[in-house]
Structure 1
Amino acid sequence: MNKTFFTFIFTLVSCFCFAQSFKVSGRITDEKGDPLIGASVIEKGTSNGTTTDGNGAYTLSVSSASSVIVATYVGYNRIEKAISGSGEQNLVLENATVLNQVTVVGSRNLNRSSTDTPAPVDVIDIREITTKQGQLDVNQLLQFAAPSFNSNRQTGSDGADHVDPASLRGLGPDQTLVLINGKRRHQSSLVNLFGTRGRGNTGTDLNAIPAAAIERIEILRDGASAQYGSDAIAGVINIVLKETVNQLSANVNAGMYKAKYRYDDKQFDGLNYNANLNYGIKIANKGFLNVTADYNFRDHTNRANTVSSEADLARRQYGDPKINNAAVYYNAKVPIGTNFQVYSFGGLNKRKGDAYAWTRFADDERNIPSIYPNGFDPIIASTIDDRSFAFGVRGIWKGWDIDLSNTYGFNKFHFNVKNSLNRSLGPLSQTTFDAGGFQLGQNVNNLNVTKYYKTILQGLNLAFGAEYRTEQYKIFAGERASYYNYDPTYPGGSQGFPGYSPTDVTDRSRSNVGVYLDVEADVTKKFLVDAAVRYENYSDFGSTVNGKVGLRYKVTDAFSLRGTVSTGFRAPSLAQKYFNSTFTNFVNGTPVEVLLANNESAVTQALGIPKLKQETSQNASVGFTLAPASGLSVTVDGYYVKVKDRVVLTGQFSDEDEQIGDLLKQLRVGKAQFFTNALSYTTTKGIDVIVAHTTPLGVGRLSSTLAANFNWMELGPVNTSPKLAGKEDIYFDERERRFVLASAPPSKINLTLDYSVDKFSFMLRFIRFGEIKLANWDYELDVYKPRIQTDVTLNYKVSKNFSLSVGGSNIFNVYPDLSLPALTESGGAWDPVQMGSNGAFIFTRLGFRF
C-alpha cells in the first residue's frame, strides 16, 4: 500500500508538462537599500510564490505578463505591483507606520523583523495551515505545525477533557506566556490533575480563540521573563488578530474519525464540524473593525473496546468528549489625527462539554441497581465562559512611540454531573447534579515606551515600561447532594465528579507591579546586541529581578550566528496556592477518595509543607541561520533551561501514614496530595532544526519543510519537609516523575511537501513522534514506541471566490502501543500520548472569499 501511495504522489508531482509563460526577477530591499532576506513574493490570486535569497534577490515564473506580484516582509508595509510586461521588478518596502505596524514578539524594536532577532521566532500563517490541515482548533493546529509545541487531547481527566494542556519544549503549560496583539492573555482557571501532561499546572486556553480570527501566530522559542514577565520561561506565543477590511471570508469544515476499536460495527465516529465568518470594515482613513463569528462542534469518540472481554474493561466509554464551542472576536483601530490611534480587541467564548468518567459496572458497590440495572457511565458536563477585552491608545510624541492599555480577562468553569447518583442517598437519589466550579479574573494596566535612534551606532532602540496586574481566584460550591454524604456506610457525593463543598469555597486575590528596560543596538551592520532587565513585586511572595542578553552576528548576508542568556521566573498561580477538592481516583480499578489539600490547609500544615515560592530559571540558547541558495533556508538552535523549585503535584499519602493518617480518616478520605516546590530542579536540553526549500518543479512549485525538535529532560533531587524525610518516593514518586518527563516526546519531526500548480495544491506531511514512557499503577513502564502519522490534503481553487479542500490526517490509522486499561491513569488502553488515540480523520473544507 505504501509503495502504491508514494508512486501516486510522484506521478502527481511530475505529470504536468506545460510551462508558465513569463519570468520576473529583481531585488527586495528596505529604505536604506539593505536586502530583505526571506521576503515573500507571490503572484496575486495564486499560491505561486518564492522568497528572496541572501542578497534580497528573487526569480518567479508567473502566469502572464499582466500578473500582479505581492511582496511582504514582517515589520514592513505590503506592496502590490503590476509587472506590466517588465521582467525586472525591484521593490522597496517601507517600515510600517504606527497605524499599521506589525507586532513581532521577541523584540521591542518596531523596525526589527522576525528573522533579525537574536532568538528564534516562528511565524505561522493561520490561513495557510487551516487551508491544508484537518484540525479545527488552535491547539491541534499548532500540535502538527510546530515541533516544539505539544498538546494532547485528554480523556478521563475531569476538567482537562475540556481544555487541552499545551506546552513549548517539554516544559509546563504554565511556563509559556501567551499574548494577543502583544498584550498578556489570562490563564484558564483550571488546574490539570489526572492523567494529563502538565499535571498540577494551570495553562492558557488557546481554543477559546477562534482560528478564523487569527492572522498569524508568532512563537518565540526562548526564555523571555526579562522582556514580558512571569510565565515566559519556555517562551512566548503571540497571537495576532486579523485586520482585513472590505472582504467577507467564510469557511465550512467537516470530518470524522475512522474507528478501529468499537463495540459495534460503526466505521466512523467523532463527527467534527466548524463554520466561521470574518468581515472587516474601514473606519476613517486607516482605521478598521474586523469581526469573527465561529462555531465548532466535536462529538464523542469511543476507543474502549481494546480487550477481549468486558471483565477486563475499566471503562465502557473512552475517547474524545463532546464539545460545543462558540466564539465572537473583534479587532479594531481608529486613528486620532496623524500620530495617534485608539485600539481595542477581544471577544467572548462559550463552551459546553460532555466527558465520560470511569464506568460504574452493575455489581459496583457505588451503583444502585434499581436506578441503573446495567451500571452507568457518569458524564462530567462543563460550561466554560471565557472573555477578554483590551482597550488602549498608541501614538508618537516627540519621536517616542507610546502605548498605554488596559486588558481584562475572565475564565469560569461550571460543572454539572449527569447520568450519575449519590450512593449515600439510596434508591431515591437524583441523577443530575450541580457540582459548582471555579473562576479566574485578571486585569492588566500596561505602558510601553520606545524610541529608535537611527544616528546612534547603526541604529539603537530604547524601550521601557511598567505593568500593574491584579488577579482574583474563586471556588464556588455545588448543590448539597453533589458533595454530601447522607449515610457514612456508603460513599457520598455525585459519582464521577463529587461537587465542591462549602469547605472548598475560596476567594483570593493578589497584585503585582513590574518595570522593565530594554536596549537593542546595531553596533555595526552585522552585529546586534539586545539587553533587557525587569523588576517585579508580588503582594503574596515578594520581589524578583531578571535579565537577558542576546547577540546576533551576520557573518555574511546569508549566514548569521545568534544566541541568548537569561534568567526567568514564574509565580505560582492562585489556583496552585488555593485549589482544594475531594475527588475519586481509580487505583488498579479500585475507587479511592482523594483529598487535594491547599497550601494553607490543616493537612499540609500537619506535614510541614512549606509555602509555595516562585520558580526560577536559567536559560541559554545558541544557533545559526543560513540561506545557502535561492529558496533554501536553514535554522538550527540549541537550548538549555534549568528550572529551580519547580511546582508540582505530589504523590498521594494514604490514611495509614503516621503523620496524617488519623486526620485523613476523620475527613473520610483514603489519600491526600498537595502542590509544592517538590523538584529541586529540572534541566531541559534540546535542539530545534528547521529547513525550508521552495523551487519550481515541472509546471508548478514545490515547497518543502523539515522541522524537528529533539528534547532531553533530567529531574533533580526531591525537596521534602523535615517531617517527610525518607518519604521522597511518596512525595514525588516514579509515576509523577514520568508524567513530568512525558510533557513532550524526546523527538518530534515534521516533513511537509506542498506542491502547487495552477488551481491545484497538494500537501503531504509525515510527523514522527518519539518514544514515550509512563509508569502505570503497578509502577511498571508502559512504553509507547515511536509512531509516524501521515497526512494528505488536496486543495482546488474552484474560482476566485471559492476553494475546496479534501484530505485525511493519520490516513494509515496509526495508534500508540496498547496498555492495560485498568492500570493507566485514564482508564483506557492509552494515556494521552503522541498523536492521540482516535485514528484516521477524514475531512473536507469549503472556503468562500468575497
Structure 2
Amino acid sequence: MEIIKPFKYPSLLAIAIAAASSPALAQEDEIIEEVITIGTRVEGRSATESAVPIDIITGDDFVNQGGSDLNSLLRNVVPSYNVNTQPISDAASLVRPANLRGLAPDHTLVLINGKRRHRAAVIAWLGNGVSDGAQGPDISQIPSIALQQVEVLRDGAAAQYGSDAIAGVINFQLKDNSEGGAVEIKAGQFYEGDGRQFTVAGNYGMPFTAQGFVNVSFEVGSKEDTDRSVQRNDAAALIAAGNTDVANPAQVWGSPEIKDDLKSVVNLGVDLGGGKEFYAFGNYGGKTVDGGFYFRNPETRSAVYSNGTGPLIGDLDPSNGLDSCTGFTHAQALSSAECFSFQEMFPGGFTPRFGGEVTDLAGLAGVRGDLDNGWSYDVSASLGYNDVDFFIYNTVNASLGPQSPTSFNPGAYTQLEKNFNIDLVKGFEVGLASELNVATGFEWRDETFEITTGDQASYEIGPLAAQGFSAASNGFPGFGPLAGGQWSRSNVATYVDLEADVVDGWLVGMALRFEDFEDFGTTTNGKLATNLALTDTLSLRGSWSTGFRAPTPGQSNAFNVSTEFDLTLNDLVNNGTIPSTNPVALLRGGEALDPEKSTNWTIGAVFTLGAIDVTVDYFNIELEDRIAPSQLYSLTQTEVDSLVASGVTSAANLQNFRFFTNDFDTTTKGFDIVATYGTEAIGDSTDISLAFNQTQTSVDSFTPETIDATRIRELEQGLPETRWNLSSTTLIGDWRLMARVSYYDDWFDSEDGQVYSGETLVDAEVSYAFTDKASVILGAQNLLDQTPEENPGAADGVGNRYSQFSPFGFEGGFYYLRTRYEF
C-alpha cells in the first residue's frame, strides 16, 4: 500500500502548537462551536461533536474579500477546494468547474438551507482532466451578502443525501434576519490596470406578518476582461511580412468579460402556530459572459485558409469544373470573381469570440412542524432551472463561402430539476445515554436536460464543403435538428438514519439509503460513523460509507465539438464528444452509462492544546467505474458519414471523437488539519486560523484503449497536492486588520505539457469604521503580485504567458475598495 508523504510543512504546525504556550487569554472559538445542520439530523449538535469533519465558515469570511464569484471566495478560505480561471474552455468559461478533495465538480453535493441545489446546464468539456465531462452546480449565482454561514462536510454522505455526495457536501445557509441589513459598494482592478470590477450588493430583513420574516439579498455588477498574453510567433511573422490586419496580440489569454451580472435571493419563513412553520426560498440570476478563442492563421488554418498543402481557394461556380481555381494563391483569388479566399473577409485571420447568456432560477417551499405523536416532519417541493444560450461571433461557417455570416447562435443547453421530499425525525428512549434519534424519509427527483437547436447557418453543411471547407460555425459548431432534443430521468429514494450517544461521550450513527433510477436500476448505500470523547480536550472520530454518483441525462446524451490545440501537430484540431450509445461509439466500446461507486473512510481527532483548537482528519476515497470522456479516436470516413447522418453535421470536419465511459478506478487520500486560536493580547482581539490540506489521487485501473497516459497524469497531478491557508484578523478600536498567507503546490498543465512549481500568495485588508454602521475597506488579493512561472513555449504555441490551469489564477495582484453601511 502506498504511503502518503509526510507533512511537508512542519513549521506551520509548530507555530500553531507553540502558540498554545502563550499566556494570552483564549477566547471561546465562535466558528468551531457553531451549530451544524448537515452531517447529522440531531438538532443542536456542534462541529466538534460531529462524527465527521465539518468546516463552519461565516458570512463575513466571504464578504471580506475583493471578488464577487462565490467559487473564488470559497477557494480562498477552504484549502481542499480548487477552482481555475478557465480562459479558453468552451462552456466551462461560463460556469467554472470546481473541485473538492481532488475529485470532479459533480462529486460534491451542494445544498441551500439543507436542500439539494440543481446542477448547471453546462458540461465542462475542457477541465484539465479532473473536471472533464463534469456537470456540477453553479454556485456563482449566490450573492455572498446573502450568506449567514457555509458548512463544508468533508466526508462521503451519499447514504444520507443521495447522488453526488462522494467528495463531500457544501451547505449554504441563507440569512434569516427579520430586521436590519446592509448595502455595500465594491470596486477594484488588477495591478496591470485591467479586469476592472464593480458591484453593488444589499441585504434587507423585514417582518412577514407578525409571525415571520422575509430576507432579501441582491448583487449587480460587471467585470472587464483581462489579457496576459504574448504575441504568437506565427502572428508576429505575419506582421513582419507586411500583414497589417493581424491583431497584437492575435490571441487573448485572460478572464472573460462578464456583463449584466445579477444575483438575487429571497429567504422567507412564517410561524403558522401549533408547532408548524412555512418556509420558502429561491434565487434568480443571470449574466452574459464573453471570452476569446484560438487565433485562426490566415495562411495555415486548415479547412478555412489551407487545404494542408497549400492555399484553400473556393470555386464559386463548380459547374464548369472544380479545377478552375486550382493553383491559385490567396492574392490571385482576391482578384477573381469565380475564386474565393477567406482572406477577403478576414485578411489578418480571425479569433472567434465565444460566450453565452446564463439564466438561473430556483424556488423551494415547504412546511415543517411537530406531530402529536412526537414525530417532527418536513415536507418540501422545489424547482431548479439553468439555461445557457450560446453565441459566437467574429468567425465563419467556411462551407458557406462569401455568404457566411460572422456571428451565430449555436443553440442552448437547459437543465431542469424537480424535487419532492418528506423527512421525519423522532427521538426514542431505549436505555442509552441519549435518545435514539431516528430519521427517515422519501425523495422523488426528476432531471431533464435539453439541447435547443441553433440557427441554420451555425450547423449547415454549405456548398463549399465538398471542396474541403469546414462546415458549421468555426470554433463552436451549432446543434442541428437531430442533435437537439430533451432527455429526462426520474428516481425515488428512501432512507433511515440512526444516531445516539451509546454512553456519555460516545456517539454512534448509521444510515442506509435505497434509490431506484428509471434508466439503470437500483443502488443501496450505507454509512457508519462515531465520535469518542476520551477526555475533555481530546476526542476521536471516524466513518465508513459507500456512495454513488448517477450519470446525468446531459452526460448520457449531449453532443459537443471543441476546437483544441494539439501539441503533437502544433495546430488546432476539432474534437467531438458524442453519446456513448451512438453507433460510432459502440464500435469503440461505448455503452449505456452506469453509476460511479465509492467507498469512503475517515479517521481523525479533535483536541485542544492550550488556547488552540485543532482537528486532524485522514480520508480515503476509493472510486470505481468513474464517468469521464474517453481518449480521442481518429475518425474514418465511414464514421464521419455515420455521425453526420445521426445529427452531428460538424463531423464533416472532425479529426477525432470521444464519448463518456465508466472505465477507470481511482483512490484519493490525504489529510486535513484545521487549527484556530483566539487571543486578547493582540489589539482588542485577534483570531488566527490555519487550514491545511494534502490530497493525492492515483489511478488504480483503466483500459488503455479508452484512457490514455496524459489523462492519467491530469487526474494525478492536475491539481496541487498540498494547499494551506494561514490567516489572522485583529480588531483595534475602530480598525480591523486581516492578513492571509496561502500556499499552492505544483501542478501539471496538459495544454502545454509543463509542470509548474508552487507559489505563496498574500492577501491583506484594512477596515475603518466611521460609525457603528458605516465603514470603508481597502484590500488587496495577491498583495505581492505573484504570478505563476512563465510558460517557456508561449510564443511558439498559442500565446499563453502563464498556465491557464493555475490554481490561484494568473492575472497577478488585485486591489479593491469597499464601502459598507449597515442598518
Same fold judged by TM-score > 0.5?
A: yes
2: CA distance, partners of 1:198 / 1:167: 8
Structure showing greater relative contact order (alpha-carbon pairs closer than 8 Å, 6 or more residues apart): 2
What root-mean-square deviation, in Å, do the aligned CA atoms of Structure 1 and Structure 2 show?
2.3
After superposition, give the CA deviation of every residue in 1:369-428 in whole Å (9 maximum; x if it has no partner): 222232222111201111110010000112211000001101111101122222222233
The AA in structure 1 aligned to 2:589 is G
Secondary structure of the residue aligned to 1:740 is: helix
2: CA distance, partners of 1:173 / 1:828: 27
1: CA distance, partners of 2:582 / 2:132: 21
After superposition, give the CA deviation of every residue in 1:404-457 in whole Å (9 maximum; x if it has no partner): 000110111110112222222223321111110111110010011111346742
**1:678 Cα shift?**
1.8
Instruction: Check conservation: 2:284, 2:362, Cα contact below 8 A.
Output: yes
After superposition, give the CA deviation of every residue in 1:255-294 in whole Å (9 maximum; x if it has no partner): 11122xxxxxxxx100112111111111244410011121
Seen in structure 2, the aligned counterparts of structure 1 residues 823 and 119 have a Cα distance that, compared at 3 Å, is farther
2: CA distance, partners of 1:749 / 1:314: 36
After superposition, give the CA deviation of every residue in 1:103-135 in whole Å (9 maximum; x if it has no partner): 61100111322221100001110224322x222
2: CA distance, partners of 1:49 / 1:379: 58
1: CA distance, partners of 2:493 / 2:797: 43
Aligned with residue 623 of structure 2, among 627, 637, 643: 643
Seen in structure 2, the aligned counterparts of structure 1 residues 122 and 825 have a Cα distance that, compared at 3 Å, is farther
Instruction: Check conservation: 2:251, 2:292, Cα contact below 8 A.
Output: no
Instruction: Check conservation: 1:344, 1:391, Cα contact below 8 A.
Output: yes
1: CA distance, partners of 2:187 / 2:25: 29
Residue 404 (structure 1) aligns with: 379
The AA in structure 2 aligned to 1:813 is D
The worse-fitting range, judged by mean Cα deviation, of 238-247 and 536-545 is 238-247
Residue 202 (structure 2) aligns with: 277
Residue 844 (structure 1) aligns with: 817
Residue 251 (structure 2) aligns with: 316
Seen in structure 2, the aligned counterparts of structure 1 residues 822 and 551 have a Cα distance that, compared at 3 Å, is farther
Instruction: Check conservation: 1:194, 1:826, Cα contact below 8 A.
Output: no
Residue 605 (structure 1) aligns with: 586
Instruction: Check conservation: 2:698, 2:715, Cα contact below 8 A.
Output: no
Secondary structure of the residue aligned to 2:225 is: coil
After superposition, give the CA deviation of every residue in 1:796-850 in whole Å (9 maximum; x if it has no partner): 1121111111111112221122222488899664132221111111111111101
Seen in structure 2, the aligned counterparts of structure 1 residues 515 and 382 have a Cα distance that, compared at 3 Å, is same
The AA in structure 2 aligned to 1:139 is N
- The answer as to 2:699 corresponding to 1:774 is no
Seen in structure 2, the aligned counterparts of structure 1 residues 145 and 116 have a Cα distance that, compared at 3 Å, is same
- The answer as to 2:132 corresponding to 1:148 is no
Instruction: Check conservation: 2:203, 2:215, Cα contact below 8 A.
Output: yes
After superposition, give the CA deviation of every residue in 1:330-354 in whole Å (9 maximum; x if it has no partner): 0000111140011100111111110
Aligned with residue 697 of structure 2, among 710, 713, 716: 713
Secondary structure of the residue aligned to 2:701 is: coil
After superposition, give the CA deviation of every residue in 1:601-634 in whole Å (9 maximum; x if it has no partner): 111122231221110000000000112323x200
The AA in structure 2 aligned to 1:649 is P
Seen in structure 2, the aligned counterparts of structure 1 residues 540 and 743 have a Cα distance that, compared at 3 Å, is farther
Secondary structure of the residue aligned to 1:435 is: strand
- The answer as to 2:685 corresponding to 1:691 is no
- The answer as to 2:735 corresponding to 1:760 is yes
2: CA distance, partners of 1:49 / 1:660: 73
2: CA distance, partners of 1:302 / 1:314: 9
After superposition, give the CA deviation of every residue in 1:305-347 in whole Å (9 maximum; x if it has no partner): 2767844899521100011220221000011114001110011
Within-5 A mapping of 1:320-719: 320-324=255-259, 325-365=261-301, 366=304, 368-398=342-372, 399-453=374-428, 456-459=431-434, 460-486=436-462, 487-488=464-465, 489=467, 490-588=469-567, 589-630=570-611, 632-655=612-635, 660=639, 667-668=651-652, 669-679=654-664, 681-719=665-703
1: CA distance, partners of 2:428 / 2:820: 45
2: CA distance, partners of 1:71 / 1:677: 40
Residue 302 (structure 1) aligns with: 227
1: CA distance, partners of 2:644 / 2:429: 71
**1:247 Cα shift?**
0.6
After superposition, give the CA deviation of every residue in 1:528-553 in whole Å (9 maximum; x if it has no partner): 00000000000000001100000101
**1:656 Cα shift?**
5.4
Secondary structure of the residue aligned to 1:556 is: coil
Q: TM-score, normalised by structure 1?
A: 0.83
- The answer as to 2:124 corresponding to 1:192 is yes
Secondary structure of the residue aligned to 2:481 is: coil
Instruction: Check conservation: 2:33, 2:47, Cα contact below 8 A.
Output: no
Instruction: Check conservation: 1:358, 1:827, Cα contact below 8 A.
Output: no
Instruction: Check conservation: 1:531, 1:547, Cα contact below 8 A.
Output: yes
- The answer as to 2:711 corresponding to 1:736 is yes
After superposition, give the CA deviation of every residue in 1:718-738 in whole Å (9 maximum; x if it has no partner): 13xxxxxxxx1x521122223
Seen in structure 2, the aligned counterparts of structure 1 residues 638 and 698 have a Cα distance that, compared at 3 Å, is closer
2: CA distance, partners of 1:192 / 1:530: 36
The AA in structure 2 aligned to 1:326 is L
Secondary structure of the residue aligned to 2:77 is: coil
The worse-fitting range, judged by mean Cα deviation, of 537-546 and 698-707 is 698-707
Identity of aligned residues (%): 32
Secondary structure of the residue aligned to 2:196 is: strand
Gaps of at least 5 residues in structure 2 are 1-23, 238-247, 306-341, 646-650
Instruction: Check conservation: 1:155, 1:826, Cα contact below 8 A.
Output: no
Instruction: Check conservation: 1:156, 1:827, Cα contact below 8 A.
Output: no
Gaps of at least 5 residues in structure 1 are 1-47, 54-69, 76-102, 260-267, 720-727
Secondary structure of the residue aligned to 1:731 is: coil
Instruction: Check conservation: 2:231, 2:249, Cα contact below 8 A.
Output: no
After superposition, give the CA deviation of every residue in 1:743-800 in whole Å (9 maximum; x if it has no partner): 53100011112222111111111111011123346xxx41110111111111111211
Secondary structure of the residue aligned to 1:129 is: helix
After superposition, give the CA deviation of every residue in 1:222-259 in whole Å (9 maximum; x if it has no partner): 00000000000110000111111221311111111122
Instruction: Check conservation: 2:501, 2:508, Cα contact below 8 A.
Output: yes
